[in-house]
Amino acid sequence: MYSKNPLCFRAALREFNVRRDVIITPDTVLCGRPVRRLTLRHWCLLEAAESPFLACYDRTPNLDDIAHFLWVVSTRFRPHAPFRRWRFARGCRRLDCGPAVVAIRRFMTDALQDEPPVFPPPPPGSRQLSFPEQVLLGMARVSPGIDLREVVDMPLAQIFMFMEIARRAGKTTNSE
């Protein structure tokens, strides 16, 4: 199949490399800045700021949104360091918006490439679980003894791989 379609081969190779890199290196470079892999903590901070890089907020990102995203996932991020944040944002003023948005969207796609399907819809009268709640619930289901505080700082791609391995192991165990 791959020999007939080089695009499939390149896509499969890219998926393999992303999965491998998540396990080998916890940090990467995005828009020329060292950043950590996307975690649930990052997701919650971005959700609180209504970042346009999350699918649920449909607006065009501007330079401030790019700087905020890069600050949240930065290896230098500290939640209560306004001067550091200002200095970081000031350094982001030289970024070209178009390529930066493309790079961040690709970063998000790589982080969510193995995202499991969403849970079944909630019963009438109850609310839909948020993405972080779904991930934490999924981890609690596949590994009841895991400390969920550790899961918050684990890269999402690694969480999804862990959930898939646990799901497959459960299928194998249940079918025997």
* Radius of gyration of the CA atoms of the chain, in A: 18
Name the domain boundary from 111, 141, 157: 111
How many domains in the chain?
Answer: 2
Name the domain boundary from 80, 111, 142: 111
Is residue 58 included in any domain, yes or no? yes
- Burial annotation 59-78 (CB, 10 A radius, 16+ → b, else e): eebebebbbbbbbbbbeebe
Is residue 107 included in any domain, yes or no? yes
On whether both 107 and 135 belong to a single domain, the answer is no
Closest CA to 156 of 129, 120, 128, 132: 132
Give the range among 51-55, 69-73, 168-172 with minimum mean pLDDT: 168-172
Is residue 123 included in any domain, yes or no? no
Give the range among 7-11, 48-52, 79-83, 138-142 with minimum mean pLDDT: 7-11
On whether both 95 and 51 belong to a single domain, the answer is yes
Q: What is the pLDDT, as a whole number, of residue 172?
A: 47
More confident residue, 52 or 1: 52
CA atoms of 167 and 171, how far apart (whole Å):
6
On whether both 104 and 138 belong to a single domain, the answer is no
Locate 20 and state its tokens: 């491998």
Q: What is the pLDDT, as a whole number, of residue 175?
A: 43
Is residue 161 included in any domain, yes or no? yes
Whether the per-residue pLDDT at 136 is higher than 90: the answer is: no
Give the range among 4-18, 56-70, 123-137 with minimum mean pLDDT: 4-18
Whether the per-residue pLDDT at 121 is higher than 90: the answer is: no
Q: What is the pLDDT, as a whole number, of residue 169?
A: 73
On whether both 165 and 99 belong to a single domain, the answer is no
Distance of CA 139 to the CA centre of its chain: 15
Please return the burial class of 38, using the count of CB atoms within 10 Å of its CB with bins 0-12, 13-18 and 19+.
Answer: buried
Domain hosting residue 89, numbered range: 18-111
Q: What is the pLDDT, as a whole number, of residue 174?
A: 45
On whether both 107 and 49 belong to a single domain, the answer is yes
Distances (CA, A) of 120 to 30, 116, 134, 140, 166: 34, 12, 10, 16, 19
Q: What is the pLDDT, as a whole number, of residue 146?
A: 76
